[in-house]
With several copies, the nearest count.
Chain A
Amino acid sequence: MKILYFAWLRTEIGMAEETASPPETVTTAGALIDWLAALSPRHGTAFEKRNSIRVAIDQEFAETDSVITGANEVAFFPPVTGG
């Protein structure tokens, strides 16, 4: 599963993209956040601000209780500030 980070999540974690293989018990975006947060201290710090983090599953906006099973690409980012 490809994991993408944007904006301050990218700079805090220190990478734009990584490949992750969470266990089968990790079925939701929220559970994936918990699992990723344990990967490294930088992950842990970045994911502390959970209320400021949005998620997209296969390029569609999703919620923390959305199912990630079978997804190819999960992205984490702050609320958008375009235009």
Chain B
Amino acid sequence: MAVRVQSEAFDLGVETARLTKGRHDVGAVASFVGIARENNPDEGAEPVIAMTLEHYPGMTERQLEAIEAEARERWPLLDCLIVHRYGRFEPGDPIVLVMTLSSHRQAAFDACQFLMDWLKTKAPFWKQEETASGQRWVAARKSDDAAAKKWSKPA
């Protein structure tokens, strides 16, 4: 399982090179990097000085592994990587990386997007934002729930 929960930074070039090294069957690598932003338009205009991501050690890895296993079941992935950081971040700092490898681009794109949508609703991370007014826990976004729901299989 290629899931990492860490406070350290990651490098997109290094991870791509590592996952594709020696392989001759990969045609497509889709990746997504989520970055800490200064403004959260959902939450008002006050600039974010920093944010802290708290997580549930143990459950986080378990959830990420379950999400990854589901992606591998739904799409013909050759490999897959999820790196999620925790700790304190300033605007511009990369927080999450999802990378999917496949023979063809559609599977890579779809699986990458699926993983990000599910991470937002299923990975036990909580975000606290620091602005000039102080610290505040960020509320969950309805649009994230909606994004995740579109991947639900029909009952």
Residues of chain A having any CB pair with chain B under 8 Å: 4, 6-8, 10-11, 56, 59-61, 75, 77-83
Contacts and interface: CB of A to CB of B under 8 A. Distances in A.
A82 B137 contact: no
Contacts of B96: 82-83
Contacts of A10: 54
A44 B138 CA distance: 22
Contact of B139 (A6, A77, A81): A81
B126 A78 contact: yes
A4 B20 CA distance: 37
A10 B128 CA distance: 12
Interface string B76-100: 0000000010000000000110000
Contacts of B56: 4, 6, 56, 59, 75, 77
Contacts of A77: 56, 124, 126
B20 to A, nearest CB: 16
Consensus secondary structure, chain B interface: mixed
B126 A59 contact: no
A81 B138 contact: yes
A16 to B, nearest CB: 9
Interface majority SS (helix, strand, loop, mixed), chain A: mixed
Contacts of B4: none
B99 to A, nearest CB: 14
A82 B59 contact: no
A49 B36 CA distance: 28
B140 A81 contact: yes
Nearest to B117: A83
A75 B123 contact: no
A7 B128 contact: yes
B72 interface: no
A81 B126 contact: yes
Contact of B34 (A4, A78, A80, A83): A83
Contact of B59 (A7, A56, A79): A56
Given A7-B126, A59-B62, A83 B120 contact: yes
Contacts of A11: 137
